[in-house]
A and B are shown apart, each in its own frame.
Chain A
Amino acid sequence: MIDIADNQNLSDGELVSLSLENQHNFLYLVNRYRFKLLSYIKRLTNVSDDDAEDILQEVFIKVYLNLNDFNSDLKFSSWIYRITHNQVISSHRKLKARPEGHAIDIEDKSALNLAADIDIVAGTDLNILKQKIIKVLDGLERKYRDILILRFLEEKNYQEISDIIRKPQGTVASTINKAKQEFKKEFETQKIIL
């Protein structure tokens, strides 16, 4: 196993190679992505913390089993997000439940970015804005919600989203555009209710 201090300077690709040499090195990759992915899983689903941890464990096992399938043409983060995305879909198919985003947590910066990009009136209270965003995201069709989460909450660029959901960049762009329109429409509707 490599020294802990060294792993900070290593790229994901290098850690993959080291994990193939010694399975304990895989834990560095686990720690590097654990919280990001747990947060992503919770944003995509309404499962409990324990269930989210179980999904995450399945994700890391899949990543470990498929380490040799990773190639440097792709960013490792895109690859691991893709596995996570697929695992969330697969877990929910097994549970026969539709993913719902009740567990979405949003950072202040993400909420403001989303509001600015979609051109909605944010108001003064950031907490209310975040509540509204969560509620609106919850009400969106799955494909629109997922892509907005990737774009604004996970802050992925178009190429990364294309690699995660395995769609051409043009399709990603048009889906984001449509998702923003749907979001704005839903936001306007829910503004009256709140």
Chain B
Amino acid sequence: MDEKEFEQKLVDKIQADNLSPKPRWHFLLKNYVIWVAGLLALLTGALAVSVIIYLLRYNGWEMQEGTHKSLIEFFLLTLPYFWIVFSGIFIFILYYNLKHTKKGYRYPAYLIVLVVILASIILGGAFYSLGIGQKIDNILGERAPFYGQVFNRQITFWFNPDEGRLVGIISSEVEADNFDLVDPSGNVWKILGRRDELNHLPPDFLRLGEPVNIIGSVVAESQFKADVIRLLVPGRGFFSRPNIREGHEKCLRSNCQLLLPPPPPAMMIIK
């Protein structure tokens, strides 16, 4: 095909199909969509990172010795897997978008991954310091289904009385040697132990309405002997749910007497 013939064929094709260059905004829009989607992925990933920092910081490290011999075992059991996977997905989306910007191919994958992870951690840290991680946890705690199983596994982890871990909300005035506690299922427990002998973290927080987790042992039906009590930090929203709140208020109205089984005759645990 000679030069003129090729040119003519091309011109004929352009005219027959009525082709014209796509407008500039079409390409600008495509470019903006990639950047905006990347920015949204960064923000979402960073929000997840802020929750991870919040959950890990208040993971109950100081109580690890009372629950597991191995720090690694405790760490693996209490890691916020959902948030790690969630942030991983958005970090990947951010990486993918950066790689598909006009000049993204010029940078090696490891460099983009490094930048993306660092940006997510730095922004996530900033969100955490602004209290956003806590806010997200509180909102999900109040409303999200499967909160204790998915979003904050500390609730499930600490709600295992047979293994010496109990979590709940203080539902009575704290006496010198006992108080009442409503657990995540709405059941009421009598928590036993002399206040001045208890190791509680931080000191002097034991008061009505505080969510706490406790290391100890079941000594009788609905009675739990406490060794260590710690103020619950992530998961506080969970204890303002109506079913738990209802149990808590019912307990308060009745002084918890109607909800607790009678004490066994030889109950001499309280010193």
Binding site for B on A (CB under 8 A): 19-20, 23-24, 27, 30-31, 34, 50, 53, 56-57, 60-61, 64-69, 71, 73, 162, 166-171
Contact = CB atoms under 8 A, between A and B. Distances in A.
B7 interface: yes
A30 B10 CA distance: 9
A66 B103 contact: no
Interface in B32-51: none
17 contacts: A23-B14, A27-B10, A31-B7, A57-B9, A57-B10, A60-B10, A61-B10, A61-B19, A64-B14, A65-B21, A66-B21, A68-B21, A68-B22, A68-B23, A71-B102, A167-B105, A171-B108
B105 A61 contact: no
B26 interface: yes
A68 B106 contact: no
Nearest to A19: B21
A62 to B, nearest CB: 10
Contacts of A56: 6
A186 B21 CA distance: 45
Task: Classify chain B's interface size.
Answer: 20 to 34
A65 B19 contact: yes
Contacts of A60: 10
A64 B19 contact: yes
A65 B1 CA distance: 23
Given A53-B1, A61-B14, A68-B21, A169 B7 contact: no
B3 A65 contact: no
B13 interface: yes
A167 B201 CA distance: 55
B58 to A, nearest CB: 41
Given A64-B14, A167-B105, A169-B106, 13 more contacts: A23-B14, A27-B10, A30-B10, A31-B3, A31-B7, A50-B1, A57-B9, A57-B10, A61-B10, A61-B19, A66-B22, A68-B23, A168-B108
Nearest to A69: B27
Interface in B113-149: none
B24 interface: yes
A69 B107 CA distance: 21
Contacts of A61: 10, 13-14, 19
B70 to A, nearest CB: 42
A65 B22 contact: yes
A56 B10 CA distance: 10
Given A68-B21, A68-B22, A68-B27, A168 B105 contact: yes
